[in-house]
């Protein structure tokens, strides 16, 4: 198995999943978050493509995503935007499993990798997938109980994970 082709397909599938889900969501804030996650998956695809080509491209973590998501949730709270479709929670749970599996995949690749540069990139990718898990867990909480979730102070610490 070519791990790079596999990983690129995994990221491409993730991107398409988030874009498809964003089309089905009525809530503007959730739509924005899903689009950000799709963009993040596209970035991961390009990083893996560079690795496959043996480029020594530097990969910086996507730290803005958590901050941007926190800002989206803050706007939703201020605007009292609670229009969500609870039936979509299963989609978020599916995405959470995929992200957890992706994190595990990248950690395993990092463990097997001898090249320190590639190892570092796999570890950064694993960390970003972990952040996606945190986002999805919060989205599940929000979709399940929007008003209560936005009033809960725990979500304010999204960017500290």
Q: Tens digit of pLDDT for each residue in 57-105?
A: 666 666 677 777 777 777 777 776 666 766 778 888 989 999 999 999 9
Task: Tell me the C-alpha distance between 52 and 45, whole Å.
Answer: 11
Give the domain ranges of the chain.
Answer: 3-155
Angle (CA) 105-106-111 rounded to 5° is 100
Kindly report the pTM of this predicted structure: 0.82
Structure-token pair, residue 118: 């590639």
Q: What percent of the chain clears pLDDT 70, i.e. is strictly above it?
A: 82
Is residue 154 scored above 70 in pLDDT?
no
Backbone torsions φ then ψ of 82, nearest 5 degrees = -110, 15
**CATH number belonging to domain 3-155:** 1.20.1260.10
pLDDT of residue 52: 85
Closest residue by Cα to residue 3 from 113, 84, 89, 97: 113
């Amino acid at each position: 198995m070519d791990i790079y082709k596999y990983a690129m397909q995994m990221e491409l599938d993730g991107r398409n999943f988030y874009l498809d889900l964003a089309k089905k969501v009525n809530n503007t804030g959730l739509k924005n978050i899903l689009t950000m996650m799709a963009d993040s998956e596209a970035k991961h695809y390009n990083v893996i493509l560079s690795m496959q080509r043996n480029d020594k491209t530097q990969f910086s973590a996507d730290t803005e995503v958590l901050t941007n998501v926190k800002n989206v949730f803050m706007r939703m709270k201020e605007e009292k935007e609670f229009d969500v479709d609870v039936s979509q929670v299963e989609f978020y749970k599916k995405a959470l499993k995929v992200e957890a599996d992706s994190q595990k995949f990248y950690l395993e690749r990092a463990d097997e990798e001898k090249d320190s540069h590639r190892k570092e990139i796999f570890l950064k990718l694993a960390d970003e997938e972990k952040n996606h898990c945190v986002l999805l867990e919060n989205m599940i909480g929000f979709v399940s109980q929007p008003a209560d979730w936005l009033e809960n102070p725990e979500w304010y610490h999204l960017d500290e994970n």
